[in-house]
Structure 1
Amino acid sequence: MSNLLTSRQAEELHKSLIAYLLSTGHSNSAQVLREDLKLPENEFDATTAKKYEGLLEKKWTSVVRLQKKIMDLETRSQQLQSELDNATPSSLAARKNHDPTTWLPRAPARHTLQSHRSPITSVAFHPLFSSLASGSEDCTIKIWDYELGELERTLKSHTKSVLDVDFGGPRGNTLLASCSSDLTIKLWDPAEEYKNIRTLPGHDHSVSSVRFIPSGAAGAPLSGNLLASASRDKTIRIWDVTTGYCLRTLRGHGDWVRSLAPTIDGRWLLSTSSDQTSRMWDLSQPDNNAQKQTFLVHEHVVECCAFAPASAYSHLATLAGLKKPPPASSTNEFLATGGRDKLIKISSANGVCIKTLTGHDNWIRSLVFHPGGKYLLSCSDDKTIRCWDLAQEGKCVRVVEAADHFASCLRWAPSLFKEPAEANGSATNGTSTEAKEQIRCLIACGSVDLNVRVFSA
């Protein structure tokens, strides 16, 4: 014993042994031990016994706890060593240098953002900064830093549920738009700490969707200044965000207009409605001639829609039975719609349904095409995100358990576009001067469980 413990440690152990025996009613054993250790009563009175009482049990339980911790660490160490032993250079490279054109989200989420007090209705990424906006039935909009997973600020001005949010606006002056059951649309300026710079009244019922119309809408002088809104008053309105004026009102739907999706060139607008139709509008035409196509492919409320990017045309042309894909310059060739019939319909611009995707067990709430063009992603009230491979005739290749309640909204972070480098300070001759797309492997999903989840590579 003397080899292992110092005299002070040995004394502490002896006294704690005697105190333990006394506290457990073994007074005879305590007396024998005290005599064996030649410990007089004046050195171990009642006060000393009280001081050392419980010390032995504390030391014992801490040893057991540390032993368990050591065992857990040894198990973890073995797992990591096994991963290292089985890792090949190619598998490590694949993990580090994933291909953005084929990246798909997987559980668990990188961040689960918690602060809203009611279900999340919408999410939107800032086109440049690491900011994510979320709208909720708690009447607020929250701005998050999705890289740190932290709440930056809460925007309060709406008096009823916030139903949709979207970033966009004039070049170099990104704004945030929000719409609400309080019948208004509000514009917020991130450059002025998200000050509410304008409120757009005009709709006669809840405003369910807002989308900035990208620059280049039919060469209009207001390119980049336009915002489209959809409402339960059955109309779609186009606004000038600079002046706040409503420029035009599109009528055609027979019921609540649920969602909107513009093409990247800003010419075409897609809308869905409770009237079980989707409609395509040509914004270069006057109001009475703007409606170009009605899609009658669902048998229930159509909740969401998305135009297919040109990168998906080669896969969708095969589904449509075309010999060659349409030109990439045509932005409205194919679209996807999802509804309460639990179905996703992929249609061509002429109104023909070319594929029906089945698999969700509940209402489909949101659709996004993968920027790489190979996949379509959907989220649903069945709590999942599903990934559909367009190169395999729309086969569902991944199901992500995305929420603990209905998954209500889904957004893919917009791609970044890098200007082509100029050779020797002058424009390159005969080479493309188009900006190179940099796909961001970043998705946000909102849910009725009050959480916003961010999935990233």
Structure 2
Amino acid sequence: MSSLLTTRQAEELHKSLIAYLTSCGYTRAAQSIRDELNLPDTTFDAATSKKYEGLLERKWTSVVRLQKKIMDLESKTHQLQHDLDNATPTSLAARKNHDPATWLPRAPARHTLQSHKNPITCVAFHPVFSSLASGSEDCTIKIWDYELGELERTLKSHTKAVLDLDYGGPRGNTLLASCSSDLTIKLWDPSDEYKNIRTLPGHDHSVSSVRFIPSGAAGAPLSGNLLASASRDKTIRVWDVTTGYCLRTLRGHGDWVRSLSPSFDGRWLISTSSDQSTRMWDLSQPDNNSHKQTFMAHEHVVECCAFAPPSTYTHLASIAGLKKAPAASSSAEYLATGGRDKLIKLFSINGLCLKTLTGHDNWIRALVFHPGGKYLLSASDDKTIRCWDLAQEGKCVRVVEAANHFVSCLRWAPSVFKDAVPTNGEANGTNGTGKEEGAKEQIRCAIACGSVDLNVRVFAA
């Protein structure tokens, strides 16, 4: 010991040890050490003992904290070494230039947002501004500036857990929709300090998912006004957010409807359920003819779903064994589902399961396709986000340790479209992709996830 510590350090250690034993009531042991060290009362009095009383414990806890930091750093170093070992010139160049088409999240998160008092259930990005909304079992919605990592406001109106959130609404007039276990859907106006402008009652049980139907849906006058909701009452309802009226109720699922995903043109809607099925609906058809396809491949509750964007068609067509990819103007060719059977399924629109992605060790909670088209991201109760390369037959190419508990939700910041030029002869000036002709897509390299550990995390380039 003497060879490791200086004389002063050794003296402090001895005094700390005596003070600790004295404070714990081990007076004989403390006296034995004092006798061995020849420390009389004149040298080590009561005041000195008090000074050194908590030093040993503080040093000990500091060592434990430092040891944890060292372990975390070693883990990050291992991950970076793994990335380096598997790097290619292309991937290194993409990372250097932050190519949005190939950017993937990596730990640690840019921001860890803390304020909720109960598990996070949902997150949603504002389509234009750097705002992020999060919902929680604490009945509140919180609005964050995700670039600064700061809380902007807290919305209180729901009386039970907030289960889902989505931004959208009538052309340009962006609204925030929320749904809850209190059986209601609420609409908030971000342009008016997030005032609660409407409450939509009607479901007979918890409302588990809400999604705005993008502009371009059948029924042109209502385009952009439509909101779909899914509920534990086994139904899907479509609402006109301008009037608050329920326009239609879709029935077919035999159990709790868990999640929804509309196609980019608003014509198609997919839903997942505790009945272990995924269903596809044609919103241009009347209720009795709207159900078009049932996807059956999971052996447990299907938690989440996502329509594949046209940017993925080349890769998914290859997985499907097709020589030619479908036209980009087609809005519904492929989809992905995730379930409590820990599996992700890729489907073609005819109901054929193209691929099963395995790797997660717990329930799949959320799925997001990369806007660039090459990747699919998934979030799970195994605390990770996984990135699957569709150009490599769905190979898992990255595992992000995303939280300290179950990851309950995941969203990608929507792309921004600039320099749009409306064209003649096209409804709403769109080219079949739901975006205006000539619009240049700017992919935002930011995703957010929420966890049962009460934190919202933002990963950004």
Please indicate the TM-score interval, normalised by the length of the shorter structure.
0.7 to 0.9
> Among 423, 431, 454, which residue is 1:450 paired with?
454
Q: Whose radius of gyration is greater, 1 or 2?
A: 1
Q: Which residue of structure 2 aligns with residue 235 of structure 1?
A: 235
Q: CA deviation at 1:25?
A: 4.2
Q: Distance in 1 between matches of 2:93 and 2:328?
A: 32
SS at match of 1:316: helix
Alignment of 1:262-341 (within 5 A): 262-341=262-341
Q: Distance in 2 between matches of 1:456 and 1:313?
A: 25
Deviations 1:128-157 (A, max 9, x none): 111000010000000001011011111000
Q: Distance in 2 between matches of 1:97 and 1:416?
A: 19
Distance 1:137 1:276, change over 3 A: same
Q: Distance in 1 between matches of 2:327 and 2:98?
A: 29
SS at match of 1:304: strand
Q: Distance in 2 between matches of 1:361 and 1:92?
A: 30
Give the aligned residue type for 1:130.
S
Deviations 1:255-301 (A, max 9, x none): 00000000110000000000000000000000000000000111110
Alignment of 1:10-409 (within 5 A): 25=42, 97-409=97-409
Q: Which residue of structure 2 aligns with residue 3 of structure 1?
A: none
Q: Distance in 2 between matches of 1:249 and 1:348?
A: 26
Deviations 1:48-83 (A, max 9, x none): xx9xxx9xxxxxxxxxxxxxxxxxxxxxxxxxxxxx
Distance 1:25 1:413, change over 3 A: same
Give the aligned residue type for 2:293.
Q
Q: Distance in 2 between matches of 1:338 and 1:110?
A: 26
> Among 436, 439, 443, which residue is 1:435 paired with?
439
Give the aligned residue type for 1:279.
R
Q: Distance in 2 between matches of 1:271 and 1:433?
A: 30
Q: Which residue of structure 2 aligns with residue 426 of structure 1?
A: none
Q: CA deviation at 1:419?
A: 1.5
Give the aligned residue type for 1:451.
N
For the 8 Å contact 2:229–2:238, the answer to whether it is kept is: yes
Q: Distance in 1 between matches of 2:321 and 2:92?
A: 40
Q: Distance in 2 between matches of 1:206 and 1:110?
A: 33
Q: Distance in 1 between matches of 2:413 and 2:453?
A: 22
Deviations 1:91-135 (A, max 9, x none): 997555211000000000000000001110000000011100001
Normalised by the length of structure 1, the TM-score is 0.78
Distance 1:278 1:93, change over 3 A: closer
Q: Which residue of structure 2 aligns with residue 6 of structure 1?
A: none
Q: Distance in 2 between matches of 1:168 and 1:335?
A: 22
For the 8 Å contact 2:261–2:269, the answer to whether it is kept is: yes
Deviations 1:371-391 (A, max 9, x none): 000000000000000000000
Distance 1:331 1:421, change over 3 A: closer
For the 8 Å contact 2:94–2:102, the answer to whether it is kept is: no
SS at match of 1:167: strand
Q: Distance in 1 between matches of 2:154 and 2:218?
A: 36
Q: Distance in 1 between matches of 2:139 and 2:42?
A: 65
Deviations 1:355-384 (A, max 9, x none): 000000000000000000000000000000
Distance 1:216 1:94, change over 3 A: closer
Give the aligned residue type for 1:349.
I
Q: Distance in 2 between matches of 1:92 and 1:438?
A: 21
Distance 1:97 1:231, change over 3 A: same
SS at match of 1:221: helix
SS at match of 1:116: coil
Q: Which residue of structure 2 aligns with residue 46 of structure 1?
A: none
Q: Share of identical aligned residues, percent?
A: 84
Give the aligned residue type for 1:205.
H
Q: Which residue of structure 2 aligns with residue 31 of structure 1?
A: none
Q: CA deviation at 1:220?
A: 2.5
Q: Distance in 2 between matches of 1:219 and 1:99?
A: 38
Unmatched 5+ stretches in structure 2: 1-39, 52-89, 423-435
Distance 1:420 1:285, change over 3 A: closer
Q: CA deviation at 1:434?
A: 2.0
Give the aligned residue type for 2:301.
V
Give the aligned residue type for 1:434.
G
Unmatched 5+ stretches in structure 1: 1-22, 27-49, 55-89, 423-431
Give the aligned residue type for 2:252.
G
SS at match of 2:221: coil
Q: CA deviation at 1:172?
A: 1.5
Query: How many residues are aligned here?
Result: 376
Normalised by the length of structure 2, the TM-score is 0.77
SS at match of 1:311: helix
Q: Distance in 2 between matches of 1:150 and 1:97?
A: 27
Q: CA deviation at 1:421?
A: 8.0
Q: Distance in 1 between matches of 2:249 and 2:365?
A: 25
